[in-house]
Amino acid sequence: MKKLLVLLMVILFVPSGVLAQDLIMENNPEEIFVFAGDSSLYQKETWVVELKPGENIYSWEKPFSVPAEEIFIRVEGGELMSVVDDASTKSTRINIRTKEPGKGKIHLTFPLTYLSINYLYQYFWESENNVPGGTLLVDITNESQESIPASHFIISGKEFVFDLKPYETKRLVVGELPVIQGEKILQYDPSYYGDSDVHFLWSLLIPQNLLFPAKAECFEGSTSGVVFLGESYISGESPKLEIEVGKSNDITVEEKIEKQEKLNQIYNRDGEEVLYDTREKKSYQIANRSPEKKKIEVFVPLQGSYELIAHSVPLNRVESNQISFVLELEPQQETEVVLEVAGRHLTSGFAFRD
């Protein structure tokens, strides 16, 4: 147990000069607990001290592996005047000034570099429910060679008490992970995924206070039992999650360039083409071969400089170089989507590419 050494400087004014007397007391912290942040574990200690009028200097033996700039200090009962890291003794000197005598508190918070934490979201979607049920779990690992005695851990507002052996990992069930909104969607985006497959995703909206960088595992109920669909990693930056859970064999997408024409061509003196306009047409044949209704979003690379002449479905401008459209297909339904664009004053290429 670290010791808080109280160095109360009692200054006596005598004719020969100023003399100082050190009063050293040894205490244990009133409270120690470990709480979880986004990707780290932090320890908080609370020390109760007796404050004297004037200057009170305390020396705290900080953990060797914790840099001084990563220690947060807050005091009660007085004014924090200065914090000095003493490299020679590997301690931190805390200077508190107060006008009246009485009890005070020093709160110290710092990261525990020898403990690692990994968050895990598990979602289970039963066919009769509109949203999946979720569970938040954490894995805590002691990466040091020393055992950690029974300690209080606070994770997402829930308290646990346990010890950890060297290099031991414990998995904790923190609690339910509510889902505000949920939707199963399909995406066709060759430029992003690098293939021509239809990818299956769960789009979920979860509470803002339960956002962590985490791995998400997705399960689904079926007539044969529980099926593991897949896993994904999420950044914890947005409450809207898009978790890829696999690829779909029920939806097929076939794209075809129907027309690519050059118009209003301009040539230089050598007869080389230097400028032209285009008129282009592309079709998408999309079929739902499953017995269930499906929703699919198709992404189309298209620079904003091209003019949309005609389109058989509503379009969304996703980025400056990409548009998309969304279809809801009934079981066994097949449909065709046609896009027609025009390019102006081009020097090379076409809008649509194979």
Same domain assignment for residues 300 and 267? yes
The tally of domains found in the chain comes to 3
* Residue finishing a domain among 232, 248, 264: 248
The rounded distance, in Å, linking the Cα atoms of 198 and 149 is: 50
> Residue 95 domain-assigned?
yes
pLDDT in tens, 21-78: 232 344 566 666 787 776 788 888 888 888 889 988 888 877 767 777 888 899 999 9
Same domain, 128 and 206: yes
Residue 301 belongs to domain spanning: 251-346
Same domain, 107 and 122: no
Burial of 119 (0-12, 13-18, 19+ CB in 10 A): buried
Domain check: are 157 and 182 in the same one? yes
For residues 104 and 141, state if they share a domain: no
Both tokens assigned to 42:
């932090």
124 in the same domain as 105: no
Low-confidence ranges of the chain (pLDDT < 50): 1-26
Residue 354 lies in a domain: no
Does residue 351 form part of some domain?
A: no
The answer to whether position 199 is within a domain reads yes
CA geometry: angle 85, 91, 96, nearest 5 deg = 70
pTM above 0.85, yes or no: no
194 and 243 share a domain?
Answer: yes
Q: Do 168 and 126 share a structural domain?
A: yes
Q: Are residues 133 and 242 in the same domain?
A: yes
**CATH, residue 292:** 2.60.40
Do both 58 and 165 map to the same domain? no
353 within domain boundaries = no
The answer as to whether 352 is a domain residue is no
The per-residue pLDDT for 64 is 65
Q: 145: alpha, beta or left, given left = phi > 0 and alpha = psi -120 to 50?
A: alpha
Do residues 234 and 323 share a domain?
Answer: no
Domain termination site, one of 63, 93, 111:
111
Which of 64, 84, 111 corresponds to the end of one domain? Answer: 111
- The answer to whether position 149 is within a domain reads yes
Co-location of 121 and 72 in the same domain: no
Q: Please answer whether residues 346 and 278 qualify as being in contact, where contact means their C-beta atoms are separated by less than 8 angstroms.
A: yes
CB 36 within 8 A of CB 109: no
